[in-house]
Amino acid sequence: MNKSHPFDKSRPFDLICMGRVAVDFYADQIHSPLEHAQSFSRYLGGCAGNISVGTSRLGLKSAMFSCVGTDDMGVFLRNQLQFEGVDTSLLRSTPDHLTGLVVLGVSPPDRFPLIFYRENCADMQIRPQDADPDFFRQAKALQFTGTGVSTDSMAEATRHAVDTAKDCGCAVILDIDYRPVLWGLTEAGDGESRFVASEQVTRTLQPFLSQLDLIIGTEEEVMIAGGSESLEKALEKIRSMSNAVVVLKRGEKGCEVYPAKSETPVSARPFPIEVLNILGAGDAFASGFLRGWLRGESLQTCALWGNANGALTVTRHGCSPSMASFEELQYFIKNFDQDPNILESPKLLQLHQRTVMGQPRKHPMLVLAFDHRAQFQETCQQLDLSEEKIPEFKELVFEGFRQVESTHSEQPLAILVDPQYGSKILEESAYEAFKIGVPIEKAGIFPTEWLCEEDLYQHLQARPSEWFVKLLWKFHPDLDESAKKIQMNQLKRLDAVCRELDRRLMLELILPEGMNQQGECLAQSMEEVYQAQVYPFWWKIAAPSDQNEWEQVTRILDKHDPLAGVILLGKNAPIEDFAEWFRLVRSSPYACGFAIGRSIFWQAWLDFASGKLASEEIPDIISQHYLHLIELWDSATNQES
Q: Which helix (H) or strand (E) holds 255?
A: strand 255-258
Contacts of 527 (CB under 8 A, 6+ apart): 556, 560
pTM of the model: 0.91
For 169-190, b/e burial (b = at least 16 CB within 10 A) is bbbbbbbbbbbbbbbebeeeee
Between strands 468-474 and 91-94, the pairing is: unpaired
pLDDT of residue 638: 55
Domains and CATH numbers, the chain: 8-357 (3.40.1190.20), 360-640 (3.20.20.70)
Query: Rounded to an integer, what distance in angstroms lies between the CA atom of residue 259 and that of residue 150?
Result: 28
Q: What is the pLDDT of residues 293-338, one digit of tens each?
A: 999 999 999 999 999 999 999 999 889 999 999 999 999 999 999 9
pLDDT of residue 2: 36
The residues that bridge with 44 in the sheet, in sequence order, are 23
Answer for the pair 567, 504: CB distance below 8 angstroms, yes or no.
no
Burial of 607 (0-12, 13-18, 19+ CB in 10 A): middle
| Rounded-to-integer distance, Cα 395 and Cα 627, Å | 18
Alpha-carbon distances of 51 from 144, 207, 257, 386, rounded to whole Å: 10, 24, 19, 57
Q: Cβ–Cβ contacts within 10 Å for residue 36, how many?
A: 10
* 243 bridge partner residues: none
DSSP assignment string, 538-556 = EEEEEPPSSHHHHHHHHHH
Could you tell me the CA-to-CA distances from 153 to 148, 156, 410, 415 in Å, in that order?
9, 5, 40, 48
Q: What pLDDT, on the 0 to 100 scale, is given for residue 44?
A: 97
Quote the pLDDT of residue 1.
36
pLDDT given at position 4: 36
480/592 Cα distance (integer angstroms): 33
DSSP character at residue 69? E
- Element housing 352 (H / E): helix 346-357
- Within 13 Å, how many C-alpha atoms sit on residue 452's CB side? 16
pLDDT recorded at residue 640: 46
- CB–CB of 397/370 below 8 Å? yes
Compute the CA torsion angle 43, 46, 48, 49 (nearest 10 deg): -20
Q: What percent of the residues of the chain are helix, what percent strand, and what percent coil, each to the nearest 5?
A: 45, 20, 35
Give the torsion sign (CA, 23, 27, 33, 38).
Answer: negative
Low-confidence ranges of the chain (pLDDT < 70): 1-7, 453-454, 637-641
Chain-centre distance of CA 428, in angstroms? 26
